[in-house]
């Protein structure tokens, strides 16, 4: 048999192989029978004409049976590895389709399985690295206030409690660090609920302008302390109705506006604008503060990520605010982005479904 025939057999289905083998057996058997009949002088007997089709049928059935068993034995170990459910031999044997190139299909299935396994391993490695970094970040964030509280309390216990010059001051500083610990724990709890889907959004229709005015009133005192103005951009003084979880969007606005106050310049301003985008409303919170260097922009929504670590901790906060904002917008199946230039300010924009 030449190489072309072998190549044809290599890409054949089990049925084609069985037909080919049966034809060879039938041809060879018929020739042998004809020779024997010639030797015996029985060529004139008509019964020998029934022999070729009978031999073909028997050889085809036997070949198909053994091919099925051969293929099953070959792929049994493969299916044990790539399939999580147990398949009985009879079920698997019956599922071998002799009209298809079963080995080629198994090869493709194994290739798909290997690619899926590789993707899962890469995902697990990424999550493992993320968890290691996250645990390290939590440890670092919690250690500072705990260490400060410990220092203040030990100083008071060692005699500072009777010193009127420091006792009240140290108690106030200890209380401030307790508040920071509480903020970190509450923000971690909020992120956990968002990630696990435990926080169910209460979707409702509301006016964005009214909500922003409420947030302005809530943060007005803090803005005045920093000599900052909170304003609506031109065109934002009209009604913009959206469908979302009102309290979650309030938290988003509070976090964004509070950040703009923390990192704004004296006598600066924070402006909130609304833009109609057909099915969505784009909300922008813009300030003219210190801005964010371009190399930090891809990471501002990461947990505990701080552009200026010393300044950020001095101004309070858990380092989780923007991460919570991102999770809330993802829960709404909406987007949030940031653009910023140092010394010119930052603009955070997010979309909401129009009511």
State the SS3 of 43-64: CCCHHHHHHHHHHHHHHHHHHH
Find where tokens 């010193």 sit: 163
Please state, in angstroms and rounded to a whole number, the distance separating the CA atoms of residues 115 and 246: 42
Q: Which domains does the chain have, with CATH numbers?
A: 3-100 (no CATH), 129-196 (1.10.287.130), 203-353 (3.30.565.10)
Could you tell me the CA-to-CA distances from 295 to 174, 282, 298 in Å, in that order? 35, 25, 7
**Over 90: is that where the pLDDT of 178 sits?**
no
Contact between 57 and 44 under an 8 Å Cβ cutoff? The reply is: no
Summarize pLDDT for 38-92 with one digit per residue, the tens: 766 665 555 666 767 777 788 777 777 776 666 666 666 666 666 654 554 444 4
Find where tokens 């801005």 sit: 291
Residue 123 confidence (pLDDT): 77
Contact between 14 and 71 under an 8 Å Cβ cutoff? The reply is: yes
Reading phi first (left if > 0) and then psi (alpha if -120 to 50, else beta), residue 304 is in left
**Nearest residue to 288 (alpha-carbon basis) of 254, 258, 257, 260:** 260
Summarize pLDDT for 115-138 with one digit per residue, the tens: 887 888 887 777 677 677 667 667
Answer positive or negative: Cα dihedral of 262, 264, 270, 272.
Answer: negative
Summarize pLDDT for 207-264 with one digit per residue, the tens: 999 999 999 999 998 899 888 999 999 888 788 999 999 999 999 999 999 988 888 8
The encoded tokens of residue 287 equal 């300030």
Please state, in angstroms and rounded to a whole number, the distance separating the CA atoms of residues 90 and 87: 8
Query: In whole numbers, what is the pLDDT of the chain averaged over residues?
Result: 78
């Amino acid at each position: 048999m030449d190489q072309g025939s072998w190549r044809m057999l290599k890409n054949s289905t089990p049925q084609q192989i069985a037909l080919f083998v049966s034809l060879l057996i039938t041809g060879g058997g018929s020739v042998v029978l004809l020779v024997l009949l010639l030797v015996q002088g029985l060529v004139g007997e008509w019964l020998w004409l029934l022999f070729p089709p009978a031999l073909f049928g028997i050889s085809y059935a036997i070949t198909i049976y053994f091919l099925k068993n051969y293929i099953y034995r070959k792929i049994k170990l493969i299916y044990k590895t790539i399939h999580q459910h147990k398949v009985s031999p009879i079920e698997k044997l019956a599922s071998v389709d002799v009209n298809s190139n079963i080995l080629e299909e198994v090869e493709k299935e194994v290739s798909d399985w290997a690619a899926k396994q590789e993707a899962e391993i890469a995902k697990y490695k990424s999550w493992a690295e993320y968890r290691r970094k996250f645990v390290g970040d939590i440890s670092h964030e919690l250690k500072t206030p705990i260490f400060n509280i410990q220092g203040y309390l030990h100083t008071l216990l060692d005699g500072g409690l009777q010193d009127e010059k420091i006792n009240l001051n140290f108690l106030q500083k200890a209380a401030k660090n307790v508040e920071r610990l509480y903020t970190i724990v509450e923000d971690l709890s909020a992120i956990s609920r968002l990630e696990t889907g435990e926080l169910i959004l209460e979707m409702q229709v509301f006016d964005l302008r009214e909500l922003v005015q409420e947030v302005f009133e809530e943060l007005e005192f803090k803005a005045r302390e920093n000599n900052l103005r909170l304003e609506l951009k031109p065109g934002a003084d009209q009604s913009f109705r959206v469908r979302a979880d009102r309290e979650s969007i309030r938290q988003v606005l509070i976090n964004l506006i509070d950040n703009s106050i923390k990192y704004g310049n004296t006598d600066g301003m924070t402006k909130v604008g609304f833009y109609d985008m057909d099915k969505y409303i784009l909300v922008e919170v813009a300030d003219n503060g210190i801005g964010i260097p371009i190399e930090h922009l891809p990471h501002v929504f990461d947990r505990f990520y701080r552009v200026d670590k010393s300044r950020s901790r001095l101004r309070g906060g858990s380092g989780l605010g923007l991460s919570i904002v991102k999770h809330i917008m993802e829960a709404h199946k909406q987007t949030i982005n940031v653009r910023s230039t140092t010394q010119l300010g930052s603009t955070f924009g997010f979309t909401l479904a129009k009511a």
